[in-house]
A = this chain, B = another copy of it.
Amino acid sequence: MNNNINIAIVGLGQIGIYLYNELIIKKKDIETKTGKKINIVAISAKNKNKKRRFKINKKIFYQNPLEIFKKQKIDILFESIGLSDGISKNVVETALNNKIHVITPNKALIAKHGDYLSLLAEKNKVNLEFEASVAGGIPILRTIKEGLATNKIQKVYGILNGTTNYILSEMENSNDSFSSVLKKAQNLGYAEPGNPKLDLNGFDAFAKVRILSSLCFNTKIATNNCLMEGIEKIELKDINIANQLDLRIKLLGISELINGQLFERVHPCLVDKKSYIGNVSGVMNAVILQGKPVGESVLQGEGAGPGPTSSSLLSDLLSILRGNIKYPFGIPGHKRIKPKIYNNDNYINSLYLRFEVKDVPGVMSKITKRLAKFKISIKRLIQTPDKKSNKATIVMTTHKTSEINIKRCLSVFKKDKDILKYPTIIRIYN
């Protein structure tokens, strides 16, 4: 590698523009640490004249990022557009094929095309780095690939989405409804103003789980349909009842090997209020790894925002500048096997069920009879009548039962006129 390194940044949104500024500020520091001089020689975004937090050098601006490859000699390219396909994929592919190292925080792209792109990087003997794609500023991927490199990891889980964690924490703190807290999150910049769906429905956390799994277990990225539930159905009522039970609701991303089969999932969990994970609040992210011989390792930090993300992007840059080519997923692509997939239906868990029912005689008996038929035994039951509206809320926690069993058991309540809503299910984590 030459001592003068030409850099391109494609995408100048929140993250891209912060990175642009950081690279200028940290130029000297980077030279001290690596002996390399970096120069930003090309930048690209949709809109040249958009108002941005930092001033850009318009002389190096490209409307079409693909033009950069024709006009400039680039050593390292940052992709920060953020699409799973389209121009994001196109730019990264073209860069790798032109033997340009790529750094990206784009989890959607890596979760979908990571296998293909990493093979492309290996073929062209360049690096593809994506530390910032999972858990923002926490150097979790590097920790798995390097810090814990020879450990046998059995399980990785954590709070991987700051938006939902903020919403759940804030609902508890302020006793405000989901929709009002969501608005607050949007105003604070913690949730997408336009369409926050990908955070709320668990998809964002799920993309991260997929990346974590493949690194932890040395497998290809799984493509099966998975157990993925978001927080949209969580009501303030659930938060308060959890509180009474000394529990707290957290959206967890979990990946583990069960008898050698990969089980990935994202869903709200009830965790002990006193547990470590129960106390990670606000926009913080946390990842917990269980490995041998290291035991349990915990990493916690800010999971989003341009600062933490830039921290990870620059760690990728320094890794590349230090000079050697690394396998994007820690081992050679052809050694990463396709994972065997665990059947979600078999998963056994204790559950929290909330029924909203008409307050008429026989409803409770109907529910408990149905549960008994499926051998689901009740651990705790709280019934709260709402006399005014002639309704009642029935919350129960159950002993362990399988996913398929509870699905079959509850299906009947979809069309029961006394059950006002299909019950809210929250899995109890232990």
Contact = CB atoms under 8 A, between A and B. Distances in A.
A315 B33 contact: no
A137 B292 CA distance: 10
A384 interface: no
Given A151-B311, A293-B306, A295-B307, 19 more contacts: A18-B293, A22-B293, A32-B332, A33-B150, A131-B147, A137-B293, A139-B143, A142-B142, A143-B147, A146-B319, A149-B315, A286-B298, A292-B307, A294-B307, A295-B302, A297-B301, A298-B298, A298-B301, A323-B324
A243 to B, nearest CB: 16
A296 B307 contact: no
Q: 3 nearest interchain CB pairs?
A: A139-B147, A293-B307, A298-B300
A255 interface: no
A82 interface: no
A296 B301 contact: yes
A426 to B, nearest CB: 24
B301 A137 contact: no
Interface in A276-319: 276, 279, 286, 291-302, 306-308, 310-312, 314-315, 318-319
A97 to B, nearest CB: 24
Contacts of A307: 292-295
A127 to B, nearest CB: 12
Contact of A32 (B26, B29, B137, B331): B331
A325 to B, nearest CB: 9
Contacts of A375: none
B308 A293 contact: yes
Nearest to A23: B150
A422 to B, nearest CB: 37
Residue with the highest number of chain B CB atoms closer than 10 Å, among A138, A293, A299: A293
Nearest to A321: B149
Interface in A19-45: 22, 26, 29-30, 32-33
Copy number in this complex? 2
Given A29-B150, A146-B142, A294-B307, A299 B299 contact: yes
A48 interface: no
Contacts of A332: 32
A294 B311 contact: yes
Interface residues of A, number: 53
Residue with the highest number of chain B CB atoms closer than 10 Å, among A32, A306, A312, A335: A32
Given A30-B150, A146-B318, A150-B311, A137 B297 contact: yes
Interface of A: 18, 22, 26, 29-30, 32-33, 131, 137-139, 142-143, 146-151, 276, 279, 286, 291-302, 306-308, 310-312, 314-315, 318-319, 322-324, 326-327, 330-332, 335
Residue with the highest number of chain B CB atoms closer than 10 Å, among A30, A139, A276, A324: A139
A137 B308 contact: no
A192 to B, nearest CB: 21
A15 B112 CA distance: 42
Nearest to A139: B147
Nearest to A289: B301
Contacts of A151: 311
Contact of A330 (B26, B33, B297): B33
A294 to B, nearest CB: 4
Residue with the highest number of chain B CB atoms closer than 10 Å, among A18, A143, A149, A276: A149
A32 B311 CA distance: 30
B300 A137 contact: no
A318 B150 contact: yes
Contacts of A300: 276, 297-300
Contacts of A315: 146-150
Contacts of A142: 142-143, 146-147
Contact of A322 (B131, B139, B276, B326): B326
